[in-house]
Structures are given as C-alpha cells and as structure tokens.
Amino acid sequence: LAENKGTLAEGTTINLYFEDVEEQETWEKIARREPYDMVIAHYLTGFIKDLELFLERVAGALALGGMFSVNVAGASREHGFWQEIFTKLQLKTDFMKESEAKSKKRLEGFLTILEKYFTKVENTIIDNWMRYEDAEELFARLLERYPENKKYLTDKERVIKEYLAKEIEDQGAIVIPTSSDFQHCFK
C-alpha cells in the first residue's frame, strides 16, 4: 500500500481489518471510527454464517453516499460451455441446468437482500476465461463444478476425457468462458 500512496487522492486512508466480521466486538470497534466511504468484501460472502446481519452491519458502517463492493457466487457462463459439450456427446445436462438455475436464484436472493440495506445496487458481470491444455485437469474442473454428480461424471469419464483430449489436440487448448458477478452498493 505504501508504494501506491502517491496515487491516491489527498486525505485517503485505507484500513484493513483482520478480525472476525461475525463478532459483535469487531463492529463495535468499527463503529468508533468515522463512517467509511468504501467497504470491499470480495469472495467473503460464502463464509459468512449470517449474511443478512453482515450486510446490515456494513450498511451501518458506510457514510451517506458510500459504496460497498461485494460479490456472491452467481450464474457463470461456464454452465453453457459444459452443456454444449455434453449435448454433443449425448450425455445428460439436466443437472447442469439445475445448477445454473440454483446459482441464478441464489444471486437474485442476494440482490434482494442488498436492496433492503442499500439505496442503489449495481450488478456488474465480469467475463473471464480459463485455458486448459490437459484433459485430466479439465475433467478435474468438471468434477469441481458439479461435485454432487461425481458418480455420473466418473461413469462417463472415458468418453468425456477422450473428447476433451481430441479438442485439445486439434486446438492446442480449450478455453472455458466464465463470469463473475460483482455488486456495487450505495448508501
């Protein structure tokens, strides 16, 4: 942070807390300070036990006009990538569609909670890509993406890996389109 201090607006301060944000005493310490212009909590919501209480506390710590930047697991474009491959291989895709629908529903529910505590919520989708040159690695990604369907996927492992290996051989790599949803919330 020190090396970037000269690039920040005059009077800007950054406070990093390495405390348990689910403890009341953490928020009591935060409340003793001036309200914050910005709070960032990326990749944290999946670990919070009482998400709504956390969001209420963050909103209480923000200054009027302040911004809270957060994200929650959303509906990635990756589902469509796998559905396309499985359709080509004539394998079932219902669990992928179901997973995608659950992700969208989780995101919609999260946005609803955010709108309860913030006057304006902007959802931004950031597209990104993951490149694979190895069918084993790519299959491991598939298992990671759909762990509840491990048995089905391992039953079809040979067919899937053969297809992936051929595509990698033909194209040099397989690139998976993914996306992440980030929310900018204003008080």
Model pLDDT for residues 19-67, shown as the tens digit of each residue: 888 999 989 988 888 899 999 999 888 889 999 999 999 999 999 999 9
pLDDT score recorded for residue 87: 97
Which 8-state DSSP code applies to residue 3?
Answer: G
Instruction: State the pTM of this model.
Output: 0.80
Of 81, 78, 127, 72, residue with least CA distance to 105 = 72
pLDDT score recorded for residue 74: 60
pLDDT score recorded for residue 2: 63
Looking at every residue in the chain, the average pLDDT score rounds to 91
Q: Which pairing describes strands 36-41 and 62-71: parallel, antiparallel, or unpaired?
A: parallel
